[in-house]
Structure 1
């Protein structure tokens, strides 16, 4: 799985990499700062298929449009089943996204507990993970006279919620030493195809191991509130 990742670059570098500008759904400019410990439930930057020239913030943890409530967001989607699984099928057909990152964390069981590792390119360059996004809208409830068609809907909802999930696949030889799944890393030349193709299943393969590195980092990364450069530093051997 992919349950934590990094995006340490500044905003200009990120915008240049994806030829897109950071803004909200209304097109108003927003800002981002380097992140070292991005976690589920947070608002994080993605490039959506319906606005490829914009980097927008969505909540990590996909909530299907048909869900009864917005709890229990799904942070990962298995590549092998996204075309059939009800939680992801419609998003795979119509709502794909790129999830910018420059590394992700995996945990290995050891005698002293779980040891976190960071996986990245040797030069820490930015890449895109394959993602799906969804829009969930709360059901409108009626109370009092509304139940008889005579009043106004009870406006207790907070509007639509836009969320995303990261697609995972079988691990390459490097990541298999850490975990039995890994995030789908897209080749730069395949990123637009992921957003636009009718069926881009062929892109959901493990990224070659020889271009990546994995190294142990501090267990401080286990706490999502710890988000500073120290958590990406290699542990001294």
Structure 2
């Protein structure tokens, strides 16, 4: 499972790494922020609007809400944060998105929890050099049949995509694809996010059937280390969360 992750990179470096640009109103010059509305994140959580690249706009970095709501759902509640790689092509919630709506989800680490005598201990899993990577994702667009919309999966501060006229538009959401864990993550959890090789990212967005990419990333270049339990609170988002605990 992938239920929290980090993205510590600065905006310019993120745009250069993925050869894409932020575009929404928070990123226009003159908004009062040198980062254009994007800052490093230490505790990205479900329900938040987070940066991704979708297959239909590969040169654009957009913000979608984490927690996929299928287009056919009766309402926008119960967003799905993870999708099992083994069943993407057959599960009703993911089949259409797998065929036509894939995305890259940016991260440079993710959190997993393991049981200890003192309770669950969070660990951060990342590359040894903390380089950014793309997790395989799926995205969807949901629209209400009525004029009155319900509150979505917004417990952690998320919201819907805004239309150009400033009114609420369709709800656009995403989910992170998971697979079997590698040798490092298996000590912490029985699932891990699908991390794509850089030269496979375009293939994930464009291939007819990219199931061959949905393998656990080798553990050789990765590390896992314990971090503060303050990460358990999704409202806490500060640099101290990624610092290793002193032994």
TM over 0.5: yes
1:178 aligned partner: 188
Partner of 1:38: 44
Partners of 1:102 and 1:120 within 8 A in 2: yes
Tell me, in whole angstroms, the C-alpha distance in 1 between the residues paired with 2:42 and 2:146: 38
- The answer for the alignment partner of 2:19 in structure 1 is 19
- Give the direction of change, closer, same or farther, for the CA distance of 1:7–1:141 in structure 2 (3 Å limit): closer
Matches within 5 A, 1:1-237: 1-24=1-24, 31-140=37-146, 158-237=168-247
Following TM superposition, where does structure 1 have runs of at least 4 consecutive aligned residues deviating by more than 2 angstroms? 27-31
| TM-score of the superposed pair, with normalisation by structure 1 | 0.91
Q: How far did residue 23 of structure 1 move?
A: 1.3
Query: Once the 2 structures are TM-superposed, how far is the Cα of residue 31 of structure 1 from its aligned partner?
Result: 2.9
Is the partner of 1:192 in helix, strand or coil? helix
Q: Secondary structure at the match of 1:9?
A: coil
Structure 1 gap ranges (5+): 143-156
Q: Give the length in aligned residue pairs.
A: 222
SS at match of 1:195: helix
Partners of 1:89 and 1:24 in 2: CA distance: 29
Alignment partners' CA distance in 2, 1:57 and 1:158: 14
Q: Quote the RMSD (CA, aligned, Å).
A: 1.6
2:162 aligns with: none
Distance 1:35 1:159 in 2: 26
Cα distance between partner residues in 2 of 1:60 and 1:140 = 23
Give me the whole-angstrom Cα distance separating, in 2, the residues matched to 1:100 and 1:2.
13
Deviation at 1:130? Answer: 0.2
Q: Secondary structure at the match of 2:42?
A: strand
Listed one character per residue, the Cα deviations across residues 27-71 of structure 1 (whole Å, up to 9, x for unaligned) are 967531000000000000000000000110000000000000000
Max Rg structure? 1
* Partner Cα distance (1:211, 1:49) in 2: 28
Cα distance, 1:211 vs. partner?
1.1
Deviations 1:96-121 (A, max 9, x none): 00001000000001110000000000
